[in-house]
Structure 1
Amino acid sequence: MKHEEKVLSPEQREDLLKIIKARFEKNMGRHKDIEWLDVQTRLEANPEKLWSLYEMEKTGGEPDVIDRDEKTGEYIFCDCSAESPKGRRSVCYDGEALESRKEHKPENSALGMAEAMGIEILTEEQYRKLQKLGEFDTKTSSWVKTPDNIRKLGGAIFCDRRYDTVFVYHNGAESYYASRGFRGMLRV
């Protein structure tokens, strides 16, 4: 993808900032002690990050600030949609898994989409931390970053929330389901 394609029009930028600000103000419990003007200033100074947030929003992620890195000062955005983002479901885990499918290939992989969007897929630890801010994936599931030793054996892991508990499961990395997608994180 060309760099110039990763720049929002002034209208897209303005619309996105309105959406993100409204969500930020509606969900103050996710980001106590963080001021919107500080977040907005940081976003406006990083247009490539605005493009990534736009992609998160466009695919149904409903990104919101969930933390601030005290060491770097970066704000951490995460997909906070109730269920795994609709525009990122029915994907296998990574490019290797995608290539290994002989029939009925999905259109993309979780890691491939995340890279193209300029975001990171959540780790299991990050996923569990997100679940402390609300109840997510009660009907869907989300791929999470898989440890190398599991991936080398052909597997991948995903998480969901059922019975008021966060579960971690495994599956073949090449598998994909209409109810499984992935959640992303963006540092700004």
Structure 2
Amino acid sequence: MTEQGKTLSPAERDALLAALKARFEKFAGRHEGIAWADVQARLEAADPGKLWSLHEMERTGGEPDVVGRDPETGEMLFVDCSAESPKGRRSVCYDQEALESRKEHKPADSAVGMAAAMGIELLTEAQYRSLQQLGEFDKKTSSWIKTPEKIRRLGGALFCDRRYDTVFVYHNGAESYYAARGFRGMLRI
């Protein structure tokens, strides 16, 4: 992978496509009515930066998979479908402001900052709930979600998990971080 252009080597690209195809076939219920040939065509025509972002989702443990298609644009919607919050994206506070507000014991990064660097979006509450219709996720961990500006201005941030066969939305100070809390993202291709 080259750092400057955020592009993958041919070997990285082939490995990523193979992993995505295997996951697509294994979890067919996540994308009923979508054919792998259509996904592959989108991936092959995609900007190299999008493939790099998808590779970052995979590299950090997100196990991205297609969960739908935007009816207006035709874009494939890739979401982190790992059983638990992606391991390579845990122990982060919510955003840069929260990171800067910590005086000691700062986490290495923030969810919003990592997502931006990866070229992906944090899931909204609605997107998180939609994902939970496709399986059971975050039964032992939790994931930061995109927080409404009003809540963020007051110092808070939102996260979700699944417990007792129910999806819960909670609040915390945006500067908090825990070993079992990360974030899930979405990428449109």
Q: TM-score, normalised by structure 2?
A: 0.97
Query: Structure 1 CA distance, aligned partners of 2:94 and 2:5?
Result: 26
The gaps in structure 1 that reach 5 residues or longer are none
Instruction: Name 2:11's counterpart in structure 1.
Output: 11
| AA at the equivalent of 2:170 | Y
Secondary structure of the structure 1 residue equivalent to 2:91: coil
Alignment of 1:34-73 (within 5 A): 34-46=34-46, 47-73=48-74
Secondary structure of the structure 2 residue equivalent to 1:4: coil
- Once the 2 structures are TM-superposed, how far is the Cα of residue 4 of structure 1 from its aligned partner? 3.0
CA displacement 1:57-87 (0-9 Å, x = unmatched): 0000000000001110000000000000000
| AA at the equivalent of 1:44 | E
CA displacement 1:12-42 (0-9 Å, x = unmatched): 0000000000000000100001011111111
Q: TM-score, normalised by structure 1?
A: 0.98
Secondary structure of the structure 2 residue equivalent to 1:67: strand
- Once the 2 structures are TM-superposed, how far is the Cα of residue 3 of structure 1 from its aligned partner? 6.6
Query: Structure 1 CA distance, aligned partners of 2:43 and 2:53?
Result: 11
The gaps in structure 2 that reach 5 residues or longer are none
Instruction: Name 1:173's counterpart in structure 2.
Output: 174
Count residues with an aligned counterpart. 187
Alignment of 1:98-177 (within 5 A): 98-177=99-178
Query: Structure 1 CA distance, aligned partners of 2:179 and 2:81?
Result: 19
Instruction: Name 1:26's counterpart in structure 2.
Output: 26
Query: Structure 2 CA distance, aligned partners of 1:37 and 1:10?
Result: 20
Q: Calculate percent identity across the aligned residue pairs.
A: 75
Query: Structure 2 CA distance, aligned partners of 1:3 and 1:34?
Result: 33
Query: Structure 2 CA distance, aligned partners of 1:177 and 1:44?
Result: 38
8 Å contact kept, 2:5–2:49: no
Q: Which aligned runs of 4 or more in structure 1 are off by greater than 4 angstroms?
A: none
